[in-house]
Amino acid sequence: MTDASNGEGVDEVAAFAADLRRLRVLAGSPTFDRLHRETQISKSVLSDAMKGRSLPSARTVEGIVRACGEDPREWIDRRDRIASPAPAASPGEADPTATARSARTRLALVGAAMFVAGAAVAGVTATLVAHHVIDERLAAAGVSEGPQIAVANGQDPAMTTCVEDAQVATGDTRADNSLLEIVWSNKCYAGWGRITRYDGLGNGNTVTIALYPQTAPDGADRQEATEHDVQSAYTTLLVRPSADTLLCAEGSFTVDGKRIDLGDPLCI
């Protein structure tokens, strides 16, 4: 099994975990409690699969994908290819794996791999690295500093094609083992914020997540969502106004009516 802590395979495992998270969003963000009931897989194993800490087993992949309403066969085949990569190419020969890698994987943001590999990166450092990587990847791919796909602020990302190349640009573990993330689509030149709580206390409580341009935290472009009785919530789309504008996420959730603030904003 490929371990996300090793250099080789980090991008593949991170991309696989990001796609599992995207599938979960498209399925309506079922809670880990629900996934556990439907799959009989422990919540800790489900959480590790979503975070990309290591490549999940075929049984775990099958359970998650079926619970999210999709045929697991292609997912399991992809999982097996990651677990048993093709031999390295000889010097001077093209690497067939790299050649076949999709545009989404080539443009995968380093922030995601750093996070799922468990790197202890300070919030400010992660912010600067993720912001720099987005610009570098856009330039290297010949993508203009603007959207290839026209979307508008306030659209549900799950209802757009932005999810097709979406990657977790940066993420940070916050209070009570919650996860604050910014998901980014290069093609849409837009992102959305997301909070996932792992305390199993979603019922009777709320999750609030906001994403905004750093230059106007309370401006008209601020996207904010509050969801009840859930373990995870995400904002609607926010198109990045310019290459120099940081997008920042912040949020909170409640436990027995008490608000738990997740601290300083996370920015890219």
* Domain harbouring 27, CATH code: 1.10.260.40
CB atoms inside a 10 Å sphere around CB 5: 14
State whether 69 and 142 are in the same domain.
Answer: no
State whether 35 and 64 are in the same domain.
Answer: yes
Residue 15 lies in a domain: yes
Least confident of 105-119, 176-190, 209-223, 254-268: 105-119
State whether 56 and 143 are in the same domain.
Answer: no
State whether 133 and 257 are in the same domain.
Answer: yes
State whether 70 and 122 are in the same domain.
Answer: no
Q: Which of 106, 86, 83 is nearest to 97 (CA)?
A: 86
The last residue of a domain, from among 88, 117, 134: 88
Please give the pLDDT value at position 219: 95
Residue 251, Cβ density class (10 Å: 0-12 exposed, 13-18 middle, ≥19 buried):
buried
Please give the pLDDT value at position 57: 93
Residue 203 lies in a domain: yes
pLDDT at 34 over 50: yes
Please give the pLDDT value at position 142: 41
Domain count, the chain: 2
pLDDT, tens only, 179-210: 999 999 999 999 999 999 988 899 999 999 99
State whether 168 and 208 are in the same domain.
Answer: yes
Q: Are 245 and 213 within 8 A, CB to CB?
A: yes
Q: Which of 43, 84, 83, 81 is nearest to 63 (CA)?
A: 43
Q: Are 123 and 174 within 8 A, CB to CB?
A: no
Please give the pLDDT value at position 99: 40
Residue 4 lies in a domain: no
Residue 225 backbone zone (phi > 0: left; psi -120 to 50: alpha; other: beta): beta
Q: Are 180 and 262 within 8 A, CB to CB?
A: yes
For 35, residues 6+ apart whose C-beta sits below 8 A from its C-beta are 41, 43, 46, 63, 64, 67
State whether 122 and 219 are in the same domain.
Answer: yes
Q: Look up the domain containing 226 and give its range.
A: 108-267
The last residue of a domain, from among 60, 88, 116: 88
